[in-house]
Structure 1
Amino acid sequence: MSEETFIYLCDKLRPAMERRDTNFRVCVPLKKRVAIALWKLATGSEYRSVGHLFGASISTVCRCVQEFCAAAETLLIPEQIRFPDQERFKEMAAYIENRWGLPQCIGAIDGSHIPIIAPQDYHCDYFNRKGWHSIILQGVVDGKGLFWNVFTGLPGSLHDARVLRLSTLWEVASRGNHIPASTKNIAGVNFGYYILGDSAYPLQNWLLKPFIDTGRLTAEQRFYNMKISRARVVVENAFGRLKGRWRCLMKRNECAVDLVKSMVLTCCALHNLCESHGEAYESAWDLPSAAELVLGLACDVYGDGRDVREALMRYLNS
């Protein structure tokens, strides 16, 4: 990140991270403490290696990372990852409609596995279908690839649909507390705002997914799936840039699960900070694959969003 963004971050976390000198020892300066934590998150290096680089002990590096993540959860995350208000919903929907032609869409949802070492308790629950231990990060992004809802910490063995149902997003969206409903009439159906998901997610009025390709899809259904897939790439790109910039999310994390969860949330907030500040992203940071695909299993759980999906399909083909 640029020096300006680094200074902004230091000033933001100063109330929680700054320390004073004592009669017995000189404290580690705030900028150095923040730099140590950022280097750990950006490289995933071991504490010993980070300590050698910054001239600090292993315990100091560990403490800096823990305090940085705790400060970020208190001061940075609430600012960078916020549930949109009514005006923000309108802006996100207008951006996506102008770019991909999908009316009333406010973003896309997906999941990603974060590697961890096997925890001592219930380690089998964290063993995912890919053959390694992980926790799941569920993220919802807007059309610009900025996270506006994140949920993480559940074991990697869980299905994406199960993770969604256990998240706060499911509760608030199903009750209609935060996502406005029936704001626009499209093809004879009242449309509220909705997000896009892959086939692993349940179909809802506020969550649309592609038709499952059984080889007998109509031309209209195939066109609908193509439009949905083109727009959904924004969340896959967001996860790619998140892990490309913060490499600790790619390597097997040796920290306790609670700290890994805090690190994941912090990296999501730092992703939003860097993206919104226009920080450069180098193609050399990209993951080996173009985007991580998660649990491409067909989900046979259907909600009450069939009429919404059919109406959107008719609208896109009109």
Structure 2
Amino acid sequence: MGPLKVTKKRRKTEMNHDDITGSSEKEGVVDWWDELSKKINGLQKSPPKIYRKTFEYICSLVKDDIATKSAHFSFSNGKPVGLIDQVAVALRRLGSGDSFVVIGESFGLSHSTVSQITWRFVESMEERALHHLQWPSTQEEMNTIKSKFEKIQGFPNCCGAIDVTHITLNLPGTEHSSDVWLDHKKNHSMVLQAIVDPDMKFRDIVTGWPGKMEDSLIFSSSNFNKLCNKGERLNGKVLKFSEESEIREYIIGDSAYPLLPYLIVPYEERELLKSEAKTQFNKLHLETRMVAQRALTRLKEMWRIIRGNMWRPDKHRLPRIILVCCLLHNIVIDMQDEVKDELLCLYHHNHDSGYQQLVCEDADEKGMALRESLLSYLNGRLHS
């Protein structure tokens, strides 16, 4: 799945609860949300932490699709399964990764009903919520992103941080294509590449590639890279600091990526031995791009269906599930700004525990020149 081209759709932010049916509508004794949130979280003592306003907004997005497809769903007591219960079931599945059987027992549904509800939710979200995951469309929005990145550790004109994570799969050894999915850690996995803004929102994703494919190859084959090569992305205002030094728009990534005119990676270890300035550059570079690592860690912590070792997943459907988890990740941020600082403190560990850093030594001359300009700028800023 390549980066998404999105057309904005009319957003629905209000729900009319008189139109909703289902077991979660309690009268009098307990607020329906208090009861429902317990079912969504299950036995978890940690995120997903979905506030009521966010849940209602998600319901408003999928309401029309679910209303036209779900008339035959019913609980074990014969009552019809309403909108809020269907959304709760899907969020429980995506948020906990619990089996269809476990979730069905919690809600009073058959495991096949849980499966159907979850997939119909995924289908609706990938169409109705795409406006929550897109590259900045206005100069004002991009300027805000660049300003926030510069406030982290001083990198000017930075538009994003890129990283990848592996979604591990439990595939039968007898499956004909199982070796294709073996990564360098000898796990079966699917890769998610994400470009992230300073608020930990995903701005561009690529998923569906086998885990054995190198990060640099995934990026080079991406639509984002092709747009950059055509001059149609990262083509905004160039900052000019002197006759010899100018800094164009760019993103930053780790050493698994090539050094390009619009993708800045750290200096190699051998270049640091005699240069304190380059060592400091790498430190600031790491602290800036950590926003991408935190975003991917938060994604996997909140939407645990993609955190563990997925049991024999449908590899054609999995990229769509990953996309919807990314959309939900962004929606939570868009709806709940107050959650960000709390989660930044909570999610500090690596999203790909046990995976060693890959190294790509490809370097473009224009990329080298841009990195030197950034080095000079940051060094001057530190000593001014």
Normalising by structure 2, we get a TM-score of: 0.77
Per-residue CA deviations over 1:75-127 (Å, capped at 9, x if unaligned) read 11x21101112322111001111232110001100000001232734211111
Residues 1:300 and 1:48: Cα distance change in structure 2 (over 3 Å): same
Question: Is the aligned partner of 1:224 residue 2:281?
Answer: yes
Q: State the distance in 1 between where 2:152 and 2:260 align.
A: 23
2:221 pairs with one of 142, 162, 166 = 166
Question: What residue in structure 1 maps to residue 326 of structure 2?
Answer: 268
Which consecutive segments of 4 or more residues in structure 1 shift more than 6 A?
A: none
Q: State the distance in 2 between where 1:217 and 1:113 align.
A: 35
Question: What residue in structure 1 maps to residue 23 of structure 2?
Answer: none
Question: What residue in structure 2 maps to residue 297 of structure 1?
Answer: 358
2:96 pairs with one of 43, 52, 55 = 43
Question: Is the aligned partner of 1:247 residue 2:304?
Answer: yes
Question: What residue in structure 2 maps to residue 33 of structure 1?
Answer: 86
Shift of 1:297: 2.2
| Partner-residue secondary structure (3-state), 2:145 | helix
CA contact (8 A) 1:115 1:251 kept: yes
Residues 1:218 and 1:142: Cα distance change in structure 2 (over 3 Å): same
Question: What residue in structure 1 maps to residue 135 of structure 2?
Answer: 83
- Superposed counterparts of 1:40-79, under 5 Å: 40-76=93-129, 78-79=130-131
Normalising by structure 1, we get a TM-score of: 0.92
- Superposed counterparts of 1:105-254, under 5 Å: 105-118=158-171, 120-181=175-236, 183-187=238-242, 188-214=244-270, 216-254=273-311
Q: State the distance in 2 between where 1:193 and 1:288 align.
A: 28
Higher relative contact order (CA 8 A, sep 6+): 1
Q: State the distance in 2 between where 1:286 and 1:128 align.
A: 28
Q: State the distance in 2 between where 1:173 and 1:87 align.
A: 20
Unaligned runs of at least 5 residues, structure 1: none
**What is the one-letter code of the residue matched to 1:15?**
D
Q: State the distance in 1 between where 2:124 and 2:317 align.
A: 13
Residues 1:172 and 1:121: Cα distance change in structure 2 (over 3 Å): farther
CA contact (8 A) 1:135 1:152 kept: yes
Shift of 1:56: 1.0
RMSD of aligned Cα (Å)? 2.3
Shift of 1:227: 1.0
Q: State the distance in 2 between where 1:286 and 1:95 align.
A: 21
| Partner-residue secondary structure (3-state), 1:258 | coil
Shift of 1:182: 5.2
- Superposed counterparts of 1:90-101, under 5 Å: 90-101=143-154
For these two proteins, the number of residue pairs brought into alignment is 316
Q: State the distance in 1 between where 2:209 and 2:374 align.
A: 33
Q: State the distance in 2 between where 1:92 and 1:289 align.
A: 24
Question: What residue in structure 1 maps to residue 378 of structure 2?
Answer: 316
Residues 1:306 and 1:14: Cα distance change in structure 2 (over 3 Å): same
CA contact (8 A) 1:199 1:209 kept: yes
Residues 1:89 and 1:288: Cα distance change in structure 2 (over 3 Å): closer
Larger radius of gyration: 2
Residues 1:208 and 1:43: Cα distance change in structure 2 (over 3 Å): same
| 171-180 or 290-299, which deviates more | 290-299
Residues 1:267 and 1:280: Cα distance change in structure 2 (over 3 Å): same
Residues 1:196 and 1:243: Cα distance change in structure 2 (over 3 Å): same
CA contact (8 A) 1:107 1:196 kept: yes
Question: What fraction of aligned residue pairs are identical, expressed as a percent?
Answer: 28
Residues 1:189 and 1:57: Cα distance change in structure 2 (over 3 Å): same
CA contact (8 A) 1:159 1:295 kept: no
Residues 1:186 and 1:114: Cα distance change in structure 2 (over 3 Å): farther
Per-residue CA deviations over 1:214-253 (Å, capped at 9, x if unaligned) read 2524111111111101101111111111111111111122
**What is the one-letter code of the residue matched to 1:314?**
S
**What is the one-letter code of the residue matched to 2:288?**
A
